[in-house]
Every structure is written in C-alpha cells, then in structure tokens.
Amino acid sequence: MSQHTFQTEVSQLLHLIIHSLYSHSEIFVREIVSNASDALDKLKYLNLTDDEFKSLKFDPRITIKLDEKAGTITFIDNGIGMNQEDLVENLGTIARSGTKNFLKNISGDAKKDSNLIGQFGVGFYSAFMVADKIEVVSKKAGEDKACKWISDGKTGYDLADAEKDEQGTEITLFVNEAGKEYASAWKLKDLVKKYSNHIAFPIFLDYEDTEWEGEGDDRKEKKVHKNEQINNASALWKKSKSELKDEDYNEFYKTFGMDWEDPLLHIHTKAEGTLEYTTLFFIPKKAPFDLYQADYKPGVKLYVKRVFITDDEKELMPTYLRFLRGVIDSEDLPLNVSREILQQNKVLASIKNASVKKVLSELKNLSEKDEKKYDEFIQEFNRPLKEGLYSDYANRDTLLELVRFKSTSVEGYTSLASYKDRMPEDQKAIYYITGDKEEVLRKSPLLEAYKKKGLEVLIMNDDIDDIVIPSIGKYNEIDLKAINKSDAAEDLKTEEDKEKEKEVEPFIKQVKDALGERVKDVVASNRLTDSPSCIIMDANDPSLQMQQMMKAMGQSMGMGEIKPILEINPNHDIVLKIKDSKDKEFITDVANLLLDQAFLAEGAELKDPTGFVTRLNRVIGRAL
C-alpha cells in the first residue's frame, strides 16, 4: 500500500464541501450515480464500435448495495472502470485551471459559497459529507489488474492492489453520523427517484428487508434479501413532450447538469424527415463557473441512436452558447464516428445550425413573453451572446434583438429595438460609450451634451464591446456611433459651435504646441458643458480600453503608441480666463493639466503622476 497527499486544490475543495454544503448532503447520490452512468456510457460505446471490446459480455447496470448493520452504502457499476493512474487523476487531483480560479472566488460566506459550488458541480467529493471513510475498488475494461483507493477525506489517500472479477467501479461509503439517515432503503429509493429516475441504465437496490409471517401471537419477523430496480431507466429526451411535465425535465436536468436548481428554460425538439434527430437543451439559472475559462467543460452530449458518443466536443454547439446543457441524439450518424469526422460531418453541421436557430428563437420568444425571466437570463449570459454578434454572422440579426445594454435613459437593461423606439425623429444615430467600469462611464464628461439635448446613450462596459459593436456598424439602417470617437460629435454641431471654434483657435493652437507628441490633435469641443476637457480617439483608432486589453494580451497592434485627441470646452471658465494669456509656461502647465484630468476622468492611469503633481502645485501657487 502506498500513501499519497491530496493536491492543495482538492484539500481546499473537500474542506469547503464538508463545511459549507451540509444542508445539501443528499446530492452525493446524484453525483455518484451520474459518474457511474458516464462510465457505462463509455463502455457501451466501445462495446459497439471497438473490436477489442465487441466480444465483451456487457449488461450495463448500476447497483446500490445497502448494509445497515455494517453502516455502509456501496455503489457498483460495470462500466469502463479506472486503473491506478486514472484513480490518481480523477480522485486525487484537479487539473483544470478553471477550478483554481473557482477556488479563488470562495468568500467564506457559507450560503454564497454553496451556490458557487453548485455551479461548479461537487462530484465524487460530495460523498465525504456523509462518510468518514471511502473505499474505491476499480478495474479498467481490457486490463487485468484492479486497484483500491482509500481516504478519510482529510489530508490524503492510500493506493493498493485489489482483486476484482469484472470491469467497473465499486464505491463503498462508511457512513458518519450525518450519513445515517441515508442508510435506509426507503431513503435511497426516494433520492434515486428524485435525482436519477431518467438515467438511461437500470439502477438496482440490493438490501435486506423485514417481513412478517404468521398471525397474532405467532407472528414472526423475517429478514428477506431484495434486489429490485428503482428507476425508470429510459432516455427522457426520446419521450414525447406530451408525456412529460416540467418536474420530469427539472429532475433530469439536476442529474444531467450537476445542479441543484431548476433550469431557467428547457428546449425539447424532435426532427423527422431528411434528418432524424432529437435535442434537449437546458439553460441554467446561473452561469457555469468556467464560462470564461479557455478549458471550459462543454455541456452538450452527443448520442447516436441513444448510444453515448462524446461529452468533450466543443464543436457540437458554437462557443458563445457554451452555457447550454443537454443532449443531441442523431439517428443518421454512424456509431463509430471519430472526433475528426465529427468536425467535418454535414449531418452534424445541419443539426448544429438548426439547433442554434431553435435556441435563439426560444430565447426571443422568452424575451417577448416573460420579461422578468429573460432579465434573469441576461444577467448571466448577455456577454456570451455578444460574442455571437462577432462570430455568428448567419444569426446576427436575431442576436441583435436578444442582446441588452445599460442606458442613460432607463433603469436596468434595454434592447436596441427599444432604444430605436425612444429616438427623437431628428436623431441621426444610436449613440454609445465604451469603457471598463459602468460607474466611470456614467460620470464621463462626454455625456454632458447628449444629456443636455435629451439624447440617450448606451453604456457598454463589457470587455468585448469595443470589438463587437464596431463590427456591427448599423442596426436597422441606423448607424451605431461611439461618443468617445471623433466622428460622433459632428451630429451635435451647431452654427454657434462653429463661431466659438473660431474664437478659441489661437488658444487651441497654443495648447497643441504645448502638448506636442502627447496628443494626436487638440480641438474645440461641442459636446462638453460642465467639464473643461475630455479625450476621445480618432474614428479609425482603437479606444483606450481596447488598447489596454491588447497590451495585457501582449499585442502592440503594430501601430506604435496611439495618441488621443484632446477636446477643450470653449465655454468653460478656465478656458475663458486664460485663453488670452501671454504666459507661455503657464499655458503649458494648464494644457498638460487639462489633458491629465481628462485621462483621469476616463479611469486611465497617468504615465507621469509626479509631473502632474508638480504642474498642479505651480498652478495652485500662482492662483494663490
């Protein structure tokens, strides 16, 4: 026997599960049965497609063996099984980087953390909420040796050789005080019905029951051994929608999606004709913890004629719909379809395209019929939909109706269609401002003239808005214009503005000479009312946020340093008081301060904070 220490992340996760999730301890049944079902799926596929396993006698089943006297519950499957290397990887290590980021988000607040862990899916480790010790004996299909894994869920685990006749896995829980309530036949039956009734394999309960024989005083207690199937064991997605209730879908989702909340929405489709397939998709109420991780786990499983093919293929649905959980079951694909063939398969491409349109159509329907529920969806998945605007040109028009934005005119989120309905007749464009913090954008000097004229501006603070929105260009033939770009202000210009520009031309030239290479240009502003200055970018240049994002990614964009345009408010007191000054040094200090404060108002860092303070002190000293 060899001793091993848990990876740090496993120890952290175990501690959190045991101390934060005690009120959800029953989910260990769902998690272990789901893992057993996955193991059976994998061997069933090999049994049908791989010559090495075709001769294997395979009668897939899951057995839950209860021994109340010994205080043990054993989960047995005859699926693919694990060797020693698999046991270490699956039970002693968390390799995915997303899990480490998940653990960084843990706050110490039990209620909040339990929700977060629910999104993560606690898997096998949930069993330590109800067990002082767990023994796992497993034998991998096609191999001769079996291996035993033993742990108390605290610091580490032991590995040893074991004896096992059939391939598969046996997980024995030595229940603790909290787990005693689950060591009863009626309780296990109830939990399997609740969480695993539609697992596509039979689940048997092996236990000793008490019966009575005889009558009156001669009545005697008799122990009877029972082994009975306790689940429905049918592929729920193959049933007719008319046979199913919301509760059936919700129960299936909780097992399938490793979640304890009901889904926000389910979408069940059966297609017949040129292509025959069934899809069942769920949208979770909460975003999966790894939604923005490069190594996210896909949530859609592919079946062919109810035979599991893969749950690790990111091409089954577009990346921007990676939050979907569900099943695609095709009648037309070959069982031995390879991953390489999958990526180029015309049948699967047709199913994918039709499925995307169906999902988006159902979301549009939800947005029209249940605004509150759709708002819940937007809170979690608005950003991925925006990714679709950039990556899915074929469905862009539909996506444009689905995405939502914050606004200067309404509470919460608004659609582009609603914005258009609110536009004055003479408004020339849909205006928006981009940046990384909503509160900073709402206070931006750039909004001043738009507010004064009663023009609505969309607040776009998602990190991808700067990439996505310019690629759209128009909505229903109306231009989308960023107010932090130079071309948007032309729409606001009046004859009075043009006169003011002429008045301050000499001062503007002085400021431009003083700033030199720090700016691309200096112009009189027609969009400022209360602030003395602001910075914008040339219409053809990336925004400050885009520059910062590219820099963080190590990309210089091949353009060298991109400089802003400084806009100066010709009506501001500061400008009016110094525009005729002949003091060149004073003008230089003020010019640099106007630029620096404009950077600060945009939430940008100053490259030379010391120089800023020195100039500020000189100007204050002069004023005093």
200 and 301 Cβ atoms separated by less than 8 Å? no
For domain 2-231, the CATH class is alpha beta
Q: pLDDT by residue (tens digit) across 134-189?
A: 999 999 999 999 999 999 988 889 999 999 999 999 999 999 998 999 999 999 99
- pLDDT under 50: residue ranges of the chain: 95, 97, 110-111, 113-121
> What was the pLDDT predicted at 285?
95
Phi-psi region of 345 (alpha: psi -120 to 50; beta: other; left: phi over 0): beta
Same topology, domains 2-231 and 405-623? Answer is no
Q: How far apart are CA 456 and CA 427, in angstroms?
A: 10
- Residue 482: DSSP 8-state: E
> What was the pLDDT predicted at 118?
46
Q: How far apart are CA 362 and CA 223, in angstroms?
A: 54
What is the pTM assigned to this prediction?
A: 0.75
- The beta strands (E) that lie in 16-113 are given as 62-67, 72-77
36 and 195 Cβ atoms separated by less than 8 Å? no
Q: How far apart are CA 129 and CA 457, in angstroms?
A: 51
Q: In 3D, which of 206, 231, 21 has the Cα closest to residue 130?
A: 21
Q: pLDDT by residue (tens digit) across 271-327?
A: 998 899 999 999 999 998 888 888 888 999 998 888 888 888 888 999 999 999 999
Q: Which residues contact 96 (CB under 8 A, 6 or more apart)?
A: 290, 293, 295, 297
Q: How far apart are CA 135 and CA 601, in angstroms?
A: 60
323 and 264 Cβ atoms separated by less than 8 Å? no
Q: Which amino acid is at 441?
A: L
Domain 405-623 grouped into CATH 3.40.50.300: no
Structure tokens at 591: 């010019």
236 and 198 Cβ atoms separated by less than 8 Å? yes
> What was the pLDDT predicted at 186?
94
> What was the pLDDT predicted at 104?
63
- The structural domains of the chain, with segments of one domain joined by +, span 2-231, 237-399, 405-623
Q: How far apart are CA 561 and CA 49, in angstroms?
A: 58
Structure tokens at 430: 């849909």
Q: Is 346 buried (19+), middle (13-18) or exposed (0-12) by CB count in 10 A?
A: exposed
Q: How far apart are CA 537 and CA 485, in angstroms?
A: 5
Buried b (16+ CB within 10 A) or exposed e, 473-487: eebeeeebbbbbbbe
> What was the pLDDT predicted at 101?
59
299 and 324 Cβ atoms separated by less than 8 Å? yes
Compute the chain's Rg from CA coordinates. Answer: 32
Identify any residues that bridge with 147 across adjacent strands, giving them in sequence order. 138, 161
The phi, psi pair for 479, rounded to 5°, reads -65, 140
Q: At what angle do helices 110-120 and 97-104 cross, to 10 degrees?
A: 170
> What was the pLDDT predicted at 502?
87
Q: Is 340 buried (19+), middle (13-18) or exposed (0-12) by CB count in 10 A?
A: exposed
> What was the pLDDT predicted at 529?
87
When the candidates are 3.30.230.80, 2.60.40.790, 3.10.20.600, 3.40.50.11540, the CATH number that belongs to 237-399 is 3.30.230.80
Q: Which residues contact 70 (CB under 8 A, 6 or more apart)?
A: none
Q: Tell how strand 478-482 and strand 429-434 pair up.
A: parallel
Adjacency order of strands within the sheet including 2-5: 2-5, 156-162, 146-151, 131-139, 168-175, 72-77, 62-67, 203-213, 220-229
Adjacency order of strands within the sheet including 565-568: 521-524, 565-568, 533-536
∠153-156-158 over CA atoms, to 5°?
Answer: 105
> What was the pLDDT predicted at 258?
77
389 and 403 Cβ atoms separated by less than 8 Å? yes
> What was the pLDDT predicted at 432?
94
Structure tokens at 271: 């297609």
